Amino acid sequence: MTTDSAITDADTGTVSGKTKAAARPFRLAFPPLSGTLRPRQLTVTAGLAVAVFAALCWHVSIGEYGIPLADVVRALTGSGDAGTLLVVQELRLPRAMTGLLAGIAFGMSGALLQTMTRNPLASPDMIGLTQGAGTAVVAGIVLGWDFGLGTQALGLFGALASALIVYGLAWRRGTTGYRIILVGIGVSWICLSATDYLLARGGRFQAQAALGWLVGNLNGRDWQQAAPLAYALVVLVPTALLIGRLMRTLQLGDDVAKGLGTRVQTVRLTVLLTGVGLVAFATAAAGPVAFVALAAPQIAQRLCRTAWPPPLAAGLTGALVVLASDVLARELIPGTELPVGIVTGVLGAPVLLWLLIRVNRAGSGG
């Protein structure tokens, strides 16, 4: 347009020079199928997948006695000597896989909720879902229910219940992301208080067991914990990837999204339920591993240079963070195994502070 060229030129001087050099998505078409491909996102995701596999092998290779990486890879494919096979497949792999799968679930769940609410602070560990699962599981331990399947069911129940409470209380002619965060923070404190009360009430032994779980822990995980999580992810991960497309318009605000033909409340509820399912199964298996759901999507978003946290890359980043943290947790103090949640907490807290500062500066908190 010729009329506005003068205005546009005058503007460029005032706008900050840092132009986004993100590669454009390009079109892929195999009629009747078509879609877009983002080269950078694809490369980063592939890189993350390789890194996660490497971390998994590293994780399995360390322990009471070290196994060479080559033998680990061989044992993972089902060959090698019987002793190594037993140690890798029966003793070490369940723990590593629990960490990997929980990391994927936490990362994806965070990506979904952050995109839905348009706020990086709205991860499941900030809006009461993790805390709800925690209260339910601690209640189970303290009031005498068993570990194993009991924990899974209780964690799922707790996270679902707190999600429904948050959604219900935040509902006023529909819900907005901002209200979900405010109500969620309230609910998470109620859950924390309830957990504290249960811990104070319970016997010393049960309180100790509950505390061990509450910090997020991969010690002594076997296939009994990993399997339900794996089954859940078979359903939830594809769902998360499919609704990612519908969420794109939600990022532009409810009115714009409706104008673009998105059924906002339906999509929001689906996203919420998927996010809750992911975080509930992961929490039940590994405990509320701190900050992974908050930090992983933000790291993935910056690696991919997108304006939203890409779910798949966020999940892989989550897996990488949990596996690397667990390796650190086991190696940091010789002879002692720290719970993985302590390491992710120490690493994640600075990320939270940085996000808070950034959200305030950008004025995008609401």
CB closer to another protein, 68 vs 174:
174
In degrees rounded to 5, what are phi and psi of residue 120?
-65, -15
364 counts as binding another protein under rule CB under 8 A:
yes
Token representation of residue 28: 């892929």
Half-sphere exposure of 133 (CA within 13 A, CB side): 32
Number of residues that bind another protein (CB under 8 A): 47
365 counts as binding another protein under rule CB under 8 A:
no
* Sites for another protein among residues 112-151 (CB under 8 A): 118
16 counts as binding another protein under rule CB under 8 A:
yes
User: Using the rule CB under 8 A, which residue among 65, 204, 255, 333 binds another protein?
Assistant: 255
Q: Which amino acid is at 314?
A: A
Distance of alpha carbon 250 from alpha carbon 182, whole angstroms: 19
Residue span binding another protein (CB under 8 A) among the ranges 31-39, 54-62, 152-160, 326-334: 31-39
User: Using the rule CB under 8 A, which residue among 18, 200, 205, 336 binds another protein?
Assistant: 18
Residue span binding another protein (CB under 8 A) among the ranges 177-185, 301-309, 325-333, 336-344: 301-309
- Contact in structure between 319 and 47 (CB atoms under 8 Å): no
Cα dihedral 282/285/286/292 (nearest 10):
0
8 counts as binding another protein under rule CB under 8 A:
yes
Closest-CA residue to 271 (of 305, 246, 306, 307) = 246
Closest separation in Å from C-beta 75 to another protein: 40
Distance of alpha carbon 283 from alpha carbon 163, whole angstroms: 14
Token representation of residue 144: 């005498």
- Contact in structure between 139 and 309 (CB atoms under 8 Å): no
CB closer to another protein, 74 vs 258:
258
* Sites for another protein among residues 52-111 (CB under 8 A): none
Residue span binding another protein (CB under 8 A) among the ranges 34-42, 70-78, 151-159, 200-208: 34-42
Closest separation in Å from C-beta 244 to another protein: 11
361 counts as binding another protein under rule CB under 8 A:
no
4 counts as binding another protein under rule CB under 8 A:
yes
Strand partners, 30: 33
User: Using the rule CB under 8 A, which residue among 68, 144, 203, 259 binds another protein?
Assistant: 259
Structural Rg of the chain based on CA atoms: 22
As a residue count, the chain comes to: 366
- Contact in structure between 292 and 344 (CB atoms under 8 Å): yes
Residue span binding another protein (CB under 8 A) among the ranges 69-77, 147-155, 259-267, 291-299: 259-267
Place of tokens 């701190």: 290
CB closer to another protein, 1 vs 82:
1
Closest-CA residue to 126 (of 356, 329, 346) = 356
Residue span binding another protein (CB under 8 A) among the ranges 144-152, 250-258, 272-280, 311-319: 250-258
User: Using the rule CB under 8 A, which residue among 204, 245, 333, 335 binds another protein?
Assistant: 245
Residue span binding another protein (CB under 8 A) among the ranges 10-18, 47-55, 147-155, 283-291: 10-18
User: Using the rule CB under 8 A, which residue among 40, 74, 179, 258 binds another protein?
Assistant: 258
Closest separation in Å from C-beta 10 to another protein: 8
Closest separation in Å from C-beta 7 to another protein: 6
SS3 state of residue 164: helix
Q: Where are the beta strands (DSSP E) in the chain?
A: 26-30, 33-37
- Residues ≥6 apart with Cβ < 8 Å to 280: 129, 133, 155, 156, 158, 159, 160
| Pairing verdict, β 33-37 and 26-30 | antiparallel
